Amino acid sequence: MKKQLLCVIFPFVISGCSGVLNKQLPVCDAVANIGGQKSTVQIYGVRKEAGQTQYMAGYPFNWRWINKNNFISTTCN
């Protein structure tokens, strides 16, 4: 009986904890040429590494640090 009760309560506990995580908001937008088509990409962070500017790019780059040269234009400062 305890196992069944635990199996019922556990998913609710896990889903309740997911609301605690903060959603990161984009800081700017950029345009990338992907497969010959221009796509708007949301940028979630900016950093300088080894003298190059990198952007934390959302979909379709899967929230990875991408070099500034991969974008056609950007609204980031």
From edge to edge, which strands make up the β-sheet containing 28-34?
Answer: 64-67, 52-57, 37-49, 28-34, 73-74
- The larger pLDDT score, comparing residue 37 to residue 6, is at 37
Domains of the chain listed by start with CATH number: 23-77 (2.30.30)
**Tokens in use for 15?**
């889903």
Average pLDDT (15-40) is 84
- The pLDDT of residue 34 is 92
- The pLDDT of residue 22 is 76
